Structure 1
Amino acid sequence: MTQTTPAAVPAPAPPARRHRVHRAWSVVAVTFVTITGAAAFRSLPGLLGEPLHREFGWSRGTIGAAVSVNLALYGVTAPFAAALMDRFGIRRVVATALTVIALGSGLTVWMTSAWQLLLCWGLLVGLGTGSMAPALAATVTHRWFAERRGLVTGILTAASASGQLVFLPLLSWTVERHGWRPASVTVALAAFAVVPLVWLLLRDHPADVGTVPYGAQGFVPRPAPVAGAARRSLAVLSSSVRTPAFWLLTGTFAICGATTNGLVQTHFVPAEHDHGMPVTTAASLLAVAGVFDVAGTIASGWFTDRWDPRRLLAVYYALRGLSLFFLPMLLGPAVRPSMVFFVVFYGLDWVATVPPTLALCRERFGEDSAIVFGWVLASHQIGAALVAYLGSVARDVFGSYDVVWYASGALCAAAALMALVMRRGTPAGRALTGS
Structure 2
Amino acid sequence: MTELEARRVTPGAGRRRLHPAWSVAAVTFLALVGAAAFRAVPGVLIDPLHAEFGWSVGTISSAIAINMALFGLTAPFAAALMERFGVRQVVAVALVVVAAGSGLTVFMTASWQLVVCWGVLVGLGTGSMALSLVATVTGRWFVTRRGLVSGILTAGSATGQLVFLPVVAVISERWGWRPASLGVAAAALAVVPLVLWLLRDRPSDLGVAPYGGTAADEPTGARIGVARLALRTLGSAARVGPFWLLVGGFMICGATTMGLLQPHFVPAAHDHGMPTTTAAGLLAVVGLFDLVGTVASGWLTDRFDPRLLLCVYYVGRGVSLMLLPLVWGSTPTASMLSFIVFYGLDWVATVPPTMALCRRYFGTAAPVVFGWVYASHQVGAALMAFAAGLLRDHLGSYDSAWYLGGGLCLLAALLSVGLRAPAEPISLGPPPRDGGTSSAR
Q: Decide: shared fold, TM above 0.5.
A: yes
Q: CA deviation at 1:37?
A: 1.1
Q: Deviations over 1:377-405 (max 9, x none)?
A: 01100110011001011000000000000
* Alignment CA distance shift 1:421-1:373 (3 Å): same
- Give the match's secondary structure for 1:261: coil
* Alignment CA distance shift 1:27-1:54 (3 Å): same
- Give the match's secondary structure for 1:44: helix
* Alignment CA distance shift 1:219-1:419 (3 Å): closer
Match of 1:269 among 263, 266, 270: 266
Distance (Å, rounded) in 2 between the aligned partners of 1:217 and 1:387: 44
Q: Which moved more, 1:21-30 or 1:224-233?
A: 224-233
Q: Which moved more, 1:218-227 or 1:138-147?
A: 218-227
* Alignment CA distance shift 1:217-1:283 (3 Å): same
The structure whose Rg is larger is 1
Distance (Å, rounded) in 2 between the aligned partners of 1:100 and 1:19: 36
Is 1:112 the counterpart of 2:139 in the alignment? no
Q: Which moved more, 1:215-224 or 1:333-342?
A: 215-224
Q: Deviations over 1:171-229 (max 9, x none)?
A: 01011111110010001101111100000010000001111100103465673452300
Cross-structure match for 2:303: 306
Tell me the amino acid that sits aligned with residue 186 of structure 2.
Answer: L
Q: CA deviation at 1:425?
A: 2.6
Distance (Å, rounded) in 2 between the aligned partners of 1:221 and 1:404: 45
Cross-structure match for 1:163: 160
Assess if the C-alpha contact under 8 Å between 1:263 and 1:387 holds in 2: yes
Tell me the amino acid that sits aligned with residue 79 of structure 2.
Answer: A
Assess if the C-alpha contact under 8 Å between 1:328 and 1:402 holds in 2: yes
Tell me the amino acid that sits aligned with residue 53 of structure 2.
Answer: F
Q: Which consecutive residues of structure 1, in runs of 5 or more, have no partner in the other structure?
A: 1-15, 430-435
Tell me the amino acid that sits aligned with residue 192 of structure 2.
Answer: V
Cross-structure match for 1:392: 389
Assess if the C-alpha contact under 8 Å between 1:207 and 1:220 holds in 2: no
Distance (Å, rounded) in 2 between the aligned partners of 1:276 and 1:293: 26
- Give the match's secondary structure for 1:100: helix
Is 1:130 the counterpart of 2:127 in the alignment? yes
1:306-385 correspondence runs (5 A): 306-385=303-382
Cross-structure match for 2:59: 62
Is 1:256 the counterpart of 2:235 in the alignment? no
Assess if the C-alpha contact under 8 Å between 2:140 and 2:219 holds in 1: no
Is 1:32 the counterpart of 2:29 in the alignment? yes
Distance (Å, rounded) in 2 between the aligned partners of 1:216 and 1:169: 42
Cross-structure match for 2:432: none
Tell me the amino acid that sits aligned with residue 145 of structure 2.
Answer: R
Q: CA deviation at 1:145?
A: 0.4
Tell me the amino acid that sits aligned with residue 78 of structure 2.
Answer: A
Is 1:142 the counterpart of 2:139 in the alignment? yes
Cross-structure match for 2:434: none
- Give the match's secondary structure for 1:99: helix
Q: Deviations over 1:292-326 (max 9, x none)?
A: 10110001001111110000000000000010011
1:19-98 correspondence runs (5 A): 20-98=17-95
Q: CA deviation at 1:95?
A: 0.3
Distance (Å, rounded) in 2 between the aligned partners of 1:253 and 1:220: 28
Distance (Å, rounded) in 2 between the aligned partners of 1:105 and 1:114: 15
Cross-structure match for 2:420: 423
Cross-structure match for 2:7: none
Q: CA deviation at 1:148?
A: 1.0
Tell me the amino acid that sits aligned with residue 109 of structure 2.
Answer: T
Q: Deviations over 1:125-183 (max 9, x none)?
A: 00000001212111000000011111111000000000000001100101111111001
TM-score normalised to structure 2 length:
0.92
Q: Number of aligned residue pairs: give it.
A: 414
Distance (Å, rounded) in 2 between the aligned partners of 1:371 and 1:335: 42
- Give the match's secondary structure for 1:334: coil
Q: CA deviation at 1:257?
A: 0.3
Q: Which consecutive residues of structure 2, in runs of 5 or more, have no partner in the other structure?
A: 1-12, 427-441
Tell me the amino acid that sits aligned with residue 340 of structure 2.
Answer: V
Is 1:239 the counterpart of 2:233 in the alignment? no
Assess if the C-alpha contact under 8 Å between 1:64 and 1:392 holds in 2: yes
Assess if the C-alpha contact under 8 Å between 1:289 and 1:347 holds in 2: yes
Distance (Å, rounded) in 1 between the aligned partners of 2:347 and 2:311: 14
Assess if the C-alpha contact under 8 Å between 2:219 and 2:364 holds in 1: no
* Alignment CA distance shift 1:88-1:332 (3 Å): same
- Give the match's secondary structure for 1:262: coil
Assess if the C-alpha contact under 8 Å between 1:208 and 1:222 holds in 2: no
- Give the match's secondary structure for 2:259: helix
Q: CA deviation at 1:426?
A: 2.4
Match of 1:175 among 172, 175, 185: 172
Q: CA deviation at 1:22?
A: 1.1
Q: CA deviation at 1:57?
A: 1.0
Distance (Å, rounded) in 1 between the aligned partners of 2:133 and 2:88: 10
Tell me the amino acid that sits aligned with residue 89 of structure 1.
Answer: G
Q: Percent identity?
A: 62
Distance (Å, rounded) in 2 between the aligned partners of 1:79 and 1:385: 17
* Alignment CA distance shift 1:221-1:162 (3 Å): closer
Distance (Å, rounded) in 2 between the aligned partners of 1:49 and 1:70: 14
Match of 1:102 among 99, 103, 110: 99
Assess if the C-alpha contact under 8 Å between 1:263 and 1:384 holds in 2: yes
Distance (Å, rounded) in 2 between the aligned partners of 1:358 and 1:374: 10
Distance (Å, rounded) in 2 between the aligned partners of 1:198 and 1:357: 27
- Give the match's secondary structure for 1:237: helix
Assess if the C-alpha contact under 8 Å between 1:68 and 1:384 holds in 2: yes
Cross-structure match for 2:284: 287
Tell me the amino acid that sits aligned with residue 63 of structure 2.
Answer: A
Cross-structure match for 2:6: none
Distance (Å, rounded) in 1 between the aligned partners of 2:100 and 2:296: 35
Distance (Å, rounded) in 2 between the aligned partners of 1:105 and 1:20: 40
- Give the match's secondary structure for 1:143: helix
Assess if the C-alpha contact under 8 Å between 2:361 and 2:425 holds in 1: no
Cross-structure match for 1:7: none
Distance (Å, rounded) in 1 between the aligned partners of 2:327 and 2:15: 54
